[in-house]
C-alpha cells in the first residue's frame, strides 16, 4: 500500500445553522376567523404554515409528514393528513430568506361529534410536522402546534328549529 497524504475538511456554518417555526389556524370552511366552537354539521379546516432558515436549509431534501391529531376526552384520537407527502424544496426561499411551506387539512362535517345523549364533545387539536429523508427514514426535524380546546355541538335541524320564547 502506498503512502497517502491526509488532509482535513473545514466546515464553517454561520449562525444559525438551521432554525424553524410552525403556525396553524383553525376555521370553518369559507370563514377567516379562528373557530373555537364548531357545529358538527359544519366542515372545518386547519391551515398550517412552517418555515426553515439558516445555512443548512438548502441542503435538506426529503419529505414533510403533516398530521392533525384530534384528541377528544373519552374517544379515540382522530388523525388526519393531506394526500401524500409534501416534498422539501431546497431551492425554495421567500423574500425573508426562509423556506415557507403551507398545507390545508380539510375536516369534513360530522368527523367529530358528541355521543348520543351528550350535549357536546370537547377536543384538543395538535398539529405535527416531521421530516423524512430521501431513504424514508425519520429525520431530526420536527415541529408541533398545540391548538386550543374546541367544542363540537349539534345544531339540530337548522331548517325547522324555532327559538323558544
Give pLDDT, residue 164. 43
Report the 10 Å Cβ neighbour count for 129. Answer: 21
- The domains of the chain, with CATH numbers, are 19-151 (2.70.50)
User: How do 99-107 and 44-53 pair as beta strands?
Assistant: antiparallel
By the 8 A CB rule, do 70 and 127 touch?
A: no
In this predicted structure, the answer to whether residue 46 has a pLDDT above a threshold of 90 is: yes
Query: Among 16-25, 74-83, 128-137, whose mean pLDDT is lowest?
Result: 74-83
Strand partners, 19: 53
- For the entire predicted model, the pTM comes to 0.85
Here the cell at position 154 is 349539534
Name the helix (H) or strand (E) containing 103.
Answer: strand 99-107
Q: Give DSSP secondary structure letters for 41-69.
A: TS-EEEEEEEEEESTTGGG--SEEEEEEE
In angstroms, the Cα distances linking 99 to 25, 47, 51, 112, 162 are: 19, 17, 5, 33, 51
By the 8 A CB rule, do 29 and 42 touch?
A: yes
| Distance spanning both ends of the chain, measured CA to CA | 99
Provide, rounded to the nearest whole percent, the portion of the chain with pLDDT above 70: 93
Cα 17-20-26 angle, rounded to 5 deg: 175
Give pLDDT, residue 118. 83
Give pLDDT, residue 37. 96
Where do we find the cell 379515540?
76
Check residue 83 and report its DSSP letter: S
The mean of the pLDDT values for the chain is 89
- pLDDT range class, residue 161, cuts 50, 70, 90: very low
What residues contact 4, with CB distance under 8 A and at least 6 apart?
Answer: none
Check residue 119 and report its DSSP letter: S
Amino acid at each position: 500500500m502506498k503512502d497517502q497524504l491526509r488532509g482535513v475538511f473545514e466546515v464553517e456554518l454561520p449562525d444559525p445553522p438551521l432554525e424553524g417555526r410552525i403556525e396553524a389556524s383553525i376555521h370553518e370552511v369559507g370563514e377567516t376567523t379562528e373557530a373555537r366552537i364548531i357545529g358538527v354539521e359544519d366542515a372545518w379546516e386547519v391551515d398550517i404554515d412552517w418555515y426553515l432558515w439558516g445555512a443548512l436549509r438548502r441542503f435538506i431534501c426529503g419529505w414533510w409528514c403533516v398530521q392533525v391529531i384530534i384528541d377528544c376526552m373519552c374517544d379515540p384520537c382522530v388523525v388526519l393528513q393531506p394526500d401524500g407527502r409534501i416534498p422539501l424544496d431546497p431551492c425554495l426561499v421567500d423574500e425573508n430568506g426562509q423556506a415557507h411551506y403551507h398545507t390545508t387539512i380539510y375536516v369534513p362535517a360530522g368527523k367529530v361529534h358528541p355521543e348520543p345523549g351528550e350535549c357536546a364533545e370537547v377536543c384538543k387539536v395538535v398539529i405535527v410536522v416531521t421530516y423524512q429523508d430521501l431513504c424514508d427514514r425519520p429525520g431530526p426535524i420536527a415541529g408541533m402546534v398545540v391548538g386550543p380546546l374546541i367544542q363540537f355541538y349539534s345544531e339540530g335541524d337548522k331548517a325547522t328549529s324555532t327559538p323558544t320564547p
